[in-house]
Amino acid sequence: MPAKSQRNWTDDAHTVLRAPASLAELDPRDTPGYEGRKKEGRRDFKAGSEQLGEYQERLFANSRGGAKESVLLVLQGMDTSGKGSIVKRVMGAVDPQGVTLTGFGAPTKEELAHDFLWRVRPRVPEPGMIGVFDRSHYEDVLIGRVRELAPAEEIERRYGAIVDFEQELADSGVRLVKVMLHISPEHQRERLERRLRRPDRYWKYDPSDIDERKLWDDYLRAYEIAIERTSTETAPWYVVPADRRWFARLAVQELLLETLEAIDPQWPPATFDVEAEKKRLARAEI
């Protein structure tokens, strides 16, 4: 793995992207911790994709040797912040057999009849896997709060329930990477205009996106509260400026690479007698 400096990062992404108390402090066009521009970013992304692929295979193999670690990337962000594009580009570079993706939409009737974490638990990645949540249990304290989809006391209760849940995951070996993709309202307008301009993008447009857009400041505030209440040592929040898509991709990839670097998964030793198996194979002619 090339040294950090060769990858144009001046600092750990885990350090520079740690969520600030106020989102207003953060320029969505900024590229904190990264001194390259788009061109270098693309080159580093390509090299990073290869590294991520290697790490993923090691993580998977490691679990076959009994290791319990998995990685869970939680992606949140306003409409058009590029969650789907991150999944496609960052995770698309990895063997799909090592990845479990879950998109959390509006809960179904059955899901609503249960606790808000009920639908989330079965989607937690098994040992050796990289899980990705495109939206997540955080929706229940984001749109849940803004749209008052549950009583205020229930919303309050959920912050604590999330902290407990994520601690439980961490204790069982799940390394959480919680990312908010932070865009500007101008960026969103451009993306929505694009969807209305291109017939091959109509299917991505939903008139209700504009209703949500009108509540921009309420959503930002809900994010700030959620981040404050649920950023813990074991499961901190990261905020990735995402007006520049190349940077958002690179930054999320870097957070994953650092997480896997820390796990440092190893090829498991043989659980059989290698020399004896070589002989068995030599005898098994057909």
Catalog residues that contact its own copies under the rule CB under 8 A: 61, 64-65, 84, 87-88, 91-92, 94-97, 99, 101, 103, 134, 185, 189, 192-193, 196, 199-200, 202-203, 205, 207, 210, 213-214, 216-217, 267-272, 274, 277-278, 280-281, 284-286
* Closest to its own copies by CB, 7 or 249: 249
Amino acid of residue 260: L
Cα 71 to Cα 259: distance, rounded to the nearest angstrom: 8
Minimum distance of its own copies from residue 283's CB (angstroms): 9
Question: Phi/psi at 52 (nearest 5 deg)?
Answer: -65, -40
Minimum distance of its own copies from residue 87's CB (angstroms): 6
* Closest to its own copies by CB, 151 or 199: 199
- DSSP letter, residue 10: S
* Closest to its own copies by CB, 188 or 259: 188
> If we measure between CA atoms, which residue out of 215, 219, 229, 212 comes closest to residue 178?
229
Extended beta strands in 142-225, E state: 174-182
Q: Are 179 and 71 in contact (CB under 8 A)?
A: no
Q: How many CB atoms lie within 10 A of CB 56?
A: 24
Cα 198 to Cα 215: distance, rounded to the nearest angstrom: 26
Minimum distance of its own copies from residue 85's CB (angstroms): 10
E strand or H helix at 282, and its extent?
helix 274-283
* Closest to its own copies by CB, 8 or 184: 184
Minimum distance of its own copies from residue 111's CB (angstroms): 17
Minimum distance of its own copies from residue 250's CB (angstroms): 19
* Closest to its own copies by CB, 53 or 236: 53
Minimum distance of its own copies from residue 235's CB (angstroms): 24
Minimum distance of its own copies from residue 18's CB (angstroms): 26
Cα 107 to Cα 152: distance, rounded to the nearest angstrom: 19
* Closest to its own copies by CB, 37 or 88: 88
* Closest to its own copies by CB, 111 or 154: 111
Q: Can you read off the two tokens belonging to residue 259? A: 């997480």
How many Cα atoms within 13 Å fall on the side-chain side of residue 175? 21
Minimum distance of its own copies from residue 185's CB (angstroms): 4
* Closest to its own copies by CB, 35 or 126: 126
Residue 187, SS3 per DSSP: helix
CA of 21: how far to CAs of 11, 15, 107, 221, 226, in Å?
20, 14, 30, 11, 11
